[in-house]
Each structure stands twice: as structure tokens, then as C-alpha cells.
Chain A
């Protein structure tokens, strides 16, 4: 594998490699949030009128809500008036028509990140949409996708080109009333990715979005919407990084997935936002609402996530299983080290008959890291023949870390539901055994972690599985003395 063939290249470096700040002139709103700010976002992006109304409704609703505190997380209060809600590289004001017009500094940034935006640097079969601070800067392979009828473009562009589709689906899976951060996102989100797979189309390549926060004091609020029509298939991957800064930055994204009859969506995340330093200073606050709905019969949504970054992770990718015989899956590896805290898991809501779900969560805690699995499996009164299997394993490395498992089963119909959890550790005995067979302790840890996570990595697209493994391996270097 050569260096320029991978989206998440360079990630396998010991320190946080993506901590650089790009010196790019940007057009950034002054800090603060008000109806005026929302008007300005809508103006700046020339959005249709229905969006303004929707955003204002969301904002007014948000004002009535309190920041949720039920999660197993401790963090300093967020000053919502101390954040800038819009930042865009200046040269993007008049969107470039082609990559040649993109600011070379911006392209340099992506080169450093290992994201090839130039189509000639072909990443085999992966189309990329790159989001820098609040706006999408470039999307690759558009023409090739268009031939197949697949729409893959920045959200802002979709609002102009396909307003009817957006109007029909936006907020149907995650309404702005859903929660505090979803309301905030609806009010101020600036861009994101939009994917539409027409009936019967098997998307010809992996789709990928790459997120980067650059400017200081900005929040990132992107929104992704994926619609898979009857009998279609799509596999999608997102990756994230941010500069190292001493203050905490907020990321509050929303992802909505809609799968119609027999459609299949695979959504993978490799999250590597800046995690803060060894003392727990700085790092991204990652409050994300991700939900998919299996609307059609025999549809399937699978979430796979590898969470290694962020100071705080609050994230529960969920599936509403509405269509009969639909399937929801959740595969997760979450690593916490330094002072990272992750409260993550899933909700599987079984509304349709014979719906099935499978949850596999692997939490690794090292250093002072805290890892919480929080899950809900709900069976509605009318859903017959439901099955769920949940497996939830924790691995502890060192003696300062903690693991929590909070599953919840709500069952209002005869069903077959199973939850199992176990705790493993990398302790001296395991290390000694491996060392006696000639492996040094870092090889041994890498091997054990890989073994532990393999069932989840197997669910990632192949080229990313390797990266994800390297990412973990690097993050854990020196975790055991």
C-alpha cells in the first residue's frame, strides 16, 4: 500500500498528527448565537425560505431546552455564546468551479491529512466530500457517480439542486425536537453531505466524507442525509480530525439515514478528533445524533464506528426498525485514553414484525480513560418475532481507567432478546505469556487489542480496517509499562 492510496493516511502516527493549524484566511462570524445569526447563515448560503423557517423553529425550541446531563460524562459547561457558528475559508466565497480554483493552501492541508482531492490521485473506488470548518470544499468522482444516478454532493448544493428531496426527508428521522444538540444543529448547521441512491442502484464505489475543524472558537455543525431507495445499496465512511488547541471545541452533527424496501445502508465512522493532551486540556466535545430508519420491508442499516478521538463523546447511532423483517446492526470500537470520556452505544427500536438487531460493542479504556456503553433495545407491543443479540465487551489497560455498561431492555411483546457482557484485561500474566514466546510487550498489546476488536474491524471496508487497527495500535503505545 502506498501512502497516497488511503483516505485516513498518516493516522498511524504516535502523537496527534493532525494537530496543525492551517493558515488560511477565513470568513468567520463573530461569536454568539441569535436569530440574526441564523438569518445571516441562511443569507450567506442562499437557502430556500422553508429552511429559514425550519431553522428558526428549531432555534426557538432549543432556547426552551437544557443541555442534557444524564450521560456518564463530566465536562465544563459549554458557553454557547462564546462560539462562532459560521466559518468558511475566504476563497470559498465564490465556490470554485473545479479543483484548480481551490485555494492551494487548502489543498495543502488536505494533502497533509492524506486526503487526495485530485481525482488523478485515485483512491481506488472511494469518492470523497471534504468539509473544512463549516463548508464543503470539494467532492470527487461526481461525474462517475452521476452516471449511475447517484447523487453525492455537499448539503448546501443539494438544497439548491434538489430542494424537494430535502424538504421531503430533512428532519424526518431526527426532528429538531429530538434533543438539545439536534435542535442546535438544525438551527445553525452550515453544510454536510447529501446522498441519494435511486431505486435498484448498487452504488459503484465507497462514499466518504472527511471533516476538519480548523478555525479557533468555531463549532462544527454538519448534517448528513442519506436516502436509499427501494433495493439500493450504499456504503459510506466518514473521518474526522481537528487542530490541537487548549480550549474545547464543539462538534454537534446530525446524521439521518433512510432505507426503503430491500435497501441497504452501511455507515462507518472513523472518528479521530483531537482528544486533548495528557492532562486532559483541550479536545473536541463531540455531541452527535445519528439515527437511521428502516422504513421498508427487508431493509438494513448497519452502523460501524471506531471512536478514538474527542475529549468527550456523546453518541448513540440508532436504528428504528419500522419495516417488517428489517435489520439493524451496530458495531463499535471505542478507545479512551488520557482523560477521554466516551458515553456511546445504540438504540434499536423494533416496531416491525420479525425485525432483528445485532449489537457488538468493544470498549477499551487506558490511562485515565472512561468508557461507557449505553444501549436500549425496545420491542413495541405490536412487533412479533423480534430478535436481538447484544454483546458488549470491555478491556481495561492499567488501573486508573474505568468501564461502564448500561444496557436497557424494554420488551412489550414476546421476543427473544439476549445481552451479554464481559470484562477482559491486559494484565501481566497475558503479557508474560506472549513475551515468553518472543513478542515484545507492544507487539503483544497490539495483538490482543486487534484480537479484541477484530469482529468490529471485519465490518469496515477493507482499506479502512487496516487504518483503524493502526490507529488503535498507535494510540495504545506505552499504555502498559
Chain B
């Protein structure tokens, strides 16, 4: 589904790359977790996948569903099925949360040649999902992320994900800022959403999230490369030993799985 080859990326206008020849393949229905210390390039990867203009791709390619992702605008990628749950969702005062959700939902449906939802169907869906996440309906009446607590912002991202039905969901540090109850609720929702057609990329610093959402693969991103790949046990080892031991092993690079 997703095929990243030799990806080298720098912040726009700078010459030192943050990602240095990253390789990663993700197949349908799989859950991949990317872990790594601060500054290893985790957020850069998720931003580049979503098409943020603040980075320049110096080398490499990204294929998604057989298409060259790098030539597509962010909204075209969204229509194709890439969803990024942001680590820090921006607040936009003045835009009604529900209005935004409906607009986004229908734009994406139009782009996928699906029928737009009418107000009744839309509301019915939203209500179901709100309940799943454990949010109150008044949540929809507020301005987009404006004045939301950290946890509310993260929940809002998940709500959007449920409505937009992506093929690849990238969750960037979604667990940070969530208390244990909220984390459990969200994990439960995500587990329900695991289907053979949908892939997941969980970007996280801690393994906490992974004890609720069992990953198929765990990758360690270190200094712009994936240096180790394993299963859930790798995450547990990181939990116990920290990232220090990577220094020694950083020399032999392990490529991504199929």
C-alpha cells in the first residue's frame, strides 16, 4: 500500500537532512509503529507523508496505492485516503467544529466519487462516533480546536478520522496529553477500526499506546533512518532500557519489512 524508498528530507531552505534515506513498506491491514527519541524525525515523516510544504524532499520516492504521492497536493492525498492525526492540531477560532467536519467529509466523499452526506445522515454518523469516543454533543458547537484541552484536541482528531474513513491513518503522538481513560476509549475505537483494507502508522515516543493497540511491526527511527525493526517485544525493550543502547547499534541499519 505504502512504499517509501530512500527518502531524504530537509526543512525547507536548510541543507542538513532530517530524514536520511528512509525505507519503509506498509501493507494493507497492518499496524506499524514508529518509535524513536526526540528529534529523530518522526514528526517530519508524518508531515511529509501528508504533504506539508515546509519540507523539501531531496531524494527518494513515496508510492501510495500505486501513485506517486510526492506530486500530489495535501488535499489530494487526503482524498486518496491518507489521514494524519496531528500531534499539535491548530486552533482556528471562528470555524465551527461541526461545520468543518461536514465540509471536510463531503469534500473527501466528492473526491472519491461517493455521494455527499445529507444533514440527517451526517448527524446520525457523527452522533454514533461521538458516543464511541465518549464525547458530548456540545463538542460540535465549539470553534475548531479553539480552547480545547490537550485531550479534547486529540479526541477531535480521532472523531475526524472516524468520519473520513482513511486507508492509511497516521497517528502522530496521539497518546500524549491523554489520560488513561481517554487513552483506553480511543484505543478501543482504533481497534474496532482495524480492517484488512486499512493500514496504520502509529508514531509514538512511549510504548504505552502499544499495549492497547498491538502493532504488527515496530520500527525504531534514529537519526533519520530506521535502525531496527521487530515486533511488540522491541517496544517493550525500549520501555525498559530507553534509547541509549541504540547508539551502539546505530551502525547496522535494518531495512523496513514488507
Contacts and interface: CB of A to CB of B under 8 A. Distances in A.
The answer to whether A and B touch directly, with their CB atoms under 8 angstroms apart, is yes
Interface of A: 424, 428-430, 432-440, 443, 447-448, 450-452, 454
Contact of A443 (B73, B74, B83, B103): B103
A42 B236 CA distance: 93
Contacts of B103: 439, 443, 447
Given A428-B53, A428-B54, A443-B107, A436 B95 contact: no
B107 A448 contact: no
Contact of B86 (A433, A438, A448): A433
B73 A424 contact: no
B53 A436 contact: no
B79 to A, nearest CB: 6
A219 to B, nearest CB: 38
Nearest to B93: A424
Nearest to B106: A438
B248 interface: no
A438 B53 CA distance: 15
Given A434-B92, A435-B51, 19 more contacts: A428-B53, A432-B50, A432-B53, A435-B73, A435-B78, A436-B51, A436-B77, A436-B78, A437-B107, A438-B75, A438-B78, A438-B79, A439-B75, A440-B75, A443-B103, A448-B92, A448-B94, A450-B95, A451-B92
Contacts of B52: 432
B242 interface: no
Contacts of B92: 430, 433-434, 448, 451
A451 B84 CA distance: 23
A443 B95 CA distance: 12
Contacts of B95: 447-448, 450-451
14 contacts: A424-B94, A430-B92, A432-B50, A433-B90, A435-B73, A436-B51, A436-B75, A437-B104, A440-B73, A443-B103, A447-B103, A450-B95, A451-B92, A451-B94
Q: Which of B74, B78, B93 is the most central at the interface, judged by chain A CB atoms within 10 Å of its CB?
A: B74
Q: Which 9 residue pairs across A and B have the least CB separation, nearest first?
A: A451-B94, A435-B74, A437-B104, A438-B108, A451-B95, A438-B78, A438-B107, A435-B75, A452-B94
A436 to B, nearest CB: 5
Interface residues of B, number: 31
Nearest to A446: B103
B100 interface: yes
Contacts of B78: 435-438
Contacts of B73: 435, 440
B89 A438 contact: no
B246 to A, nearest CB: 31
A432 B93 contact: no
B153 to A, nearest CB: 11
B187 interface: no
B23 interface: no
Q: Which of B92, B96, B99, B160 is the most central at the interface, judged by chain A CB atoms within 10 Å of its CB?
A: B92
Chain A interface mostly helix, strand, loop or mixed?
Answer: helix
A447 B92 CA distance: 10
Contacts of A432: 50-53, 74
B74 A451 contact: no
A399 to B, nearest CB: 15
B116 interface: no
Interface string B135-156: 0000000010000000000000
B144 to A, nearest CB: 8
Given A428-B54, A435-B73, A438-B78, A454 B94 contact: yes
Contacts of B79: 438
B164 interface: yes
B84 A436 contact: yes
B111 interface: yes
A448 B103 CA distance: 12
A450 B100 CA distance: 12
Given A443-B103, A447-B95, A436 B74 contact: yes
A428 B77 CA distance: 17
B37 to A, nearest CB: 24
A438 B83 CA distance: 9
Nearest to B112: A438
Contacts of B143: 451
A424 B79 CA distance: 28
A447 B73 CA distance: 19
A430 B78 CA distance: 16
Contact of A438 (B54, B90, B96, B164): B164
Contacts of A424: 93-94
A448 B108 CA distance: 18
A454 B53 CA distance: 29
B94 to A, nearest CB: 3
Contacts of A443: 103, 107
Contacts of A439: 75, 103-104, 107
Contacts of A440: 73, 75, 107
A430 B79 CA distance: 18
A434 B164 CA distance: 13
A437 B164 contact: yes
B93 A436 contact: no
A437 B89 contact: no
B225 to A, nearest CB: 25
Contacts of B89: 433
Nearest to A437: B104
A430 B99 CA distance: 16
Contacts of B100: 434, 437, 447
Contacts of B51: 432, 435-436
Nearest to B108: A438
Interface in B105-121: 107-108, 111
B100 to A, nearest CB: 7
Contacts of A452: 93-94
Contacts of B90: 429-430, 433
Contacts of A433: 86, 89-90, 92
